[in-house]
Chains A and B, each alone.
Chain A
Amino acid sequence: MPKISPVSQFLQQLRRVEVPFNPAVVAELKAGELVSLSGVLYTGRDQTHRRLCALLDEGRPLPVDLRGQLLYYVGPTPALPGRVIGAAGPTTSYRMDAYTPRLLELGLTATMGKGPRSEEVRQAMLAHGAIYLATIGGAGALLSRCIRKSELVAFADAGAEAMFRFEVENFPAVVINDLAGNDFYRRVSDHGAPHLAAISPA
């Protein structure tokens, strides 16, 4: 069990959200809210997305059932000896935009990365009842400590781009797009962020 420093203790005070999701909880999450995720996350980035969509094109089954799940855009570094995983922060999400609507159609409930999504993805999220979260870009070492278990699911030959199943505890994330169609990044760029104190933890 890694030592929890005074700073990251505040992660434990955030609203705890279990994954896979309870639809009632997803409906309550609001853009701009900082939450802590606990449970199971599946990972995938460029190559995993390309391959998942190739399987769909061929009419073949996917390696996992994505219904109700969260897909985290990450390509971790190799685990040091004795560790679960290496650094594991988010990669930029827009590169997955081309593939995301197809996965949302399958019932994927949430995606997580960093940076804004395309209008097409925003519309697909609204149509399929999905949300988008951002976690802390560049905080790969800190986020690594929130991952309790990691196992390979598919596409091993893609290396860091393979699909993994993570078990996480108190993994911090900010809700960017909620079910009501709010977009936190747009709210900040349109209005600045004076309201942030109100939603901030601790």
Chain B
Amino acid sequence: MRIIKAEEIVTAVRGLVVAAACDLEPDILEALLQARDRESAELARNVLELLLENADIASRERLPVCQDTGIAVVFVELGQEVKVDGDLMAAVEEGVRRGYRDGYLRNSVCDPLTRVNTNDNTPAVVHLEPVAGDSLTLRLLPKGCGSENMSALAMLPPSAGKRGIIDYVVEQVVAAGSNPCPPVIVGVGVGGSFEKAAYLAKKSLCRPLGQPHARQDAAELEAAILAEINKQGAGVHGMGGNNTALAVHLELFPSHIASLPVAVNIQCHAHRHKELTL
């Protein structure tokens, strides 16, 4: 049994929170560069240039890439041979609290009815998954709500098939228009139950950007959805061009014989995600 002290988790989460806000990952920077190089609309190309410059300023000056530093979504993979010395969930919360405070990040979490701000960006949304082994992996996805608000879920009839999945996802991304700050990354969860599909859609965003699904039919579905979205021409920030989406990530899970749940979780161009294994 390996012992990991709760304080190590606090420090790790704090570091991920600050880094995610200020430093875009190389995969997203590369995707934005490629988008700029293939962009046909001049205004959109200029905006992509400014987004790249924005990322550069943020990283150098330790400013957040975007003022919406999000609600902290944390995927925790806990090895079954790990014993946490202390309270794991409390440690994640404390890491989020310190990260938002020390990084001068915006506290965006409030009571859903009174709208009173909790003033420390907690609670975080924590998904805990037991896995084999003796390590603990933390994946942080601070989710801005311009994009999160464009999420959608449908319980399609199984007869809808692949065509139905493509049409539904494309329809949601087109309806979202410029609200989620395109070029977007589209997370799609197919199958499972109502909540499982939504979880998969979100979790798919943790994959390296644009890495195709291991299953060929799923990878083909991803490619088909991406091509159809980009054919629509909404483009960067709805200002036209061929870069509405940078990638589509789809995750599958077996569903009930009566059901075909499809969840869409859209991520903005500032695709903030960081992970660390203790």
Interface, chain A (partner B; CB < 8 A): 5, 7-8, 10, 32, 34, 46-47, 74-80, 86-89, 91-92, 94, 114-116, 134, 136-145, 158-161, 172, 174, 184-185, 188-189, 192-194, 196-197, 199-202
Contact check: which of A77, A140, A142, A188 meets B104 at CB < 8 Å? A77
Instruction: Knowing A91-B146, A188-B240, say if A138 contacts B104 (CB, 8 Å).
Output: no
* A115 CA to B184 CA, complexed, in Å: 14
* A142 CA to B104 CA, complexed, in Å: 16
Pairwise interchain contact B44-A115, C-beta atoms closer than 8 A: no
* A187 CA to B56 CA, complexed, in Å: 32
Instruction: Knowing A114-B146, A159-B107, say if A185 contacts B241 (CB, 8 Å).
Output: no
Instruction: List chain A residues, Cβ under 8 A from B115.
Output: 46-47
Instruction: List chain A residues, Cβ under 8 A from B149.
Output: 92
Chain A residue with minimal CB distance to B106? A77
* A184 CA to B44 CA, complexed, in Å: 13
Instruction: Knowing A92-B149, A138-B54, A141-B61, say if A115 contacts B104 (CB, 8 Å).
Output: no
Contact check: which of B69, B178, B235, B240 meets A77 at CB < 8 Å? B69
Instruction: List chain B residues, Cβ under 8 A from A115.
Output: 146, 177-179, 238
Pairwise interchain contact B268-A189, C-beta atoms closer than 8 A: no
Pairwise interchain contact B179-A193, C-beta atoms closer than 8 A: no
Give the Cβ gap from A190 to chain B, nearest Cβ, in Å: 10
* A140 CA to B144 CA, complexed, in Å: 12
Give the Cβ gap from A184 to chain B, nearest Cβ, in Å: 7
Question: Is B229 an interface residue, CB under 8 A from the partner?
Answer: no
Instruction: List chain A residues, Cβ under 8 A from B268.
Output: 137-138
Give the Cβ gap from A77 to chain B, nearest Cβ, in Å: 4
Pairwise interchain contact B238-A86, C-beta atoms closer than 8 A: no
* A10 CA to B48 CA, complexed, in Å: 13
* A139 CA to B68 CA, complexed, in Å: 10
Instruction: List chain A residues, Cβ under 8 A from B46.
Output: 10, 34, 200-202
Chain B residue with minimal CB distance to A79? B104
* A136 CA to B54 CA, complexed, in Å: 10
Instruction: Knowing A77-B105, A114-B179, say if A141 contacts B237 (CB, 8 Å).
Output: no
Instruction: List chain A residues, Cβ under 8 A from B240.
Output: 188, 192-193, 196
Chain B residue with minimal CB distance to A5? B53
- The size bracket of the interface on B is 35 or more
Pairwise interchain contact B63-A140, C-beta atoms closer than 8 A: yes
Instruction: List chain A residues, Cβ under 8 A from B277.
Output: none
- Known A-B contacts: A141-B61, A193-B41. Give 8 more (CB < 8 A): A32-B43, A134-B238, A139-B54, A160-B67, A189-B177, A196-B240, A197-B42, A200-B42
Give the Cβ gap from A193 to chain B, nearest Cβ, in Å: 2
Instruction: List chain B residues, Cβ under 8 A from A87.
Output: 58, 63-67, 69, 106
Pairwise interchain contact A159-B119, C-beta atoms closer than 8 A: yes
A-B contact pairs, 22 of them (CB 8 A): A7-B52, A46-B115, A77-B69, A78-B106, A79-B104, A91-B146, A114-B179, A115-B177, A116-B177, A116-B179, A136-B237, A137-B146, A139-B66, A141-B61, A141-B65, A159-B107, A184-B239, A188-B240, A193-B43, A193-B241, A196-B241, A202-B46
Contact check: which of A76, A138, A202 meets B269 at CB < 8 Å? A138
Instruction: Knowing A88-B67, A114-B237, A192-B240, say if A76 contacts B106 (CB, 8 Å).
Output: yes
Pairwise interchain contact A8-B44, C-beta atoms closer than 8 A: no
Pairwise interchain contact A77-B53, C-beta atoms closer than 8 A: no
Pairwise interchain contact A7-B43, C-beta atoms closer than 8 A: no
Question: Is B233 an interface residue, CB under 8 A from the partner?
Answer: yes
Pairwise interchain contact A138-B41, C-beta atoms closer than 8 A: no
Give the Cβ gap from B38 to chain A, nearest Cβ, in Å: 15
Instruction: List chain A residues, Cβ under 8 A from B68.
Output: 75, 89, 91, 140
Interface centre among A34, A74, A174, A192 (most CB of B within 10 A): A192
Question: Is B83 an interface residue, CB under 8 A from the partner?
Answer: no
Pairwise interchain contact B41-A196, C-beta atoms closer than 8 A: yes
Interface string of B104-147 (1 = CB under 8 A from A): 11111000000101010000000000000000000000001010
Instruction: List chain A residues, Cβ under 8 A from B252.
Output: none
Contact check: which of B104, B105, B238, B270 meets A116 at CB < 8 Å? B238
Pairwise interchain contact A75-B106, C-beta atoms closer than 8 A: yes
Instruction: List chain A residues, Cβ under 8 A from B50.
Output: 7-8, 136, 139, 142, 172
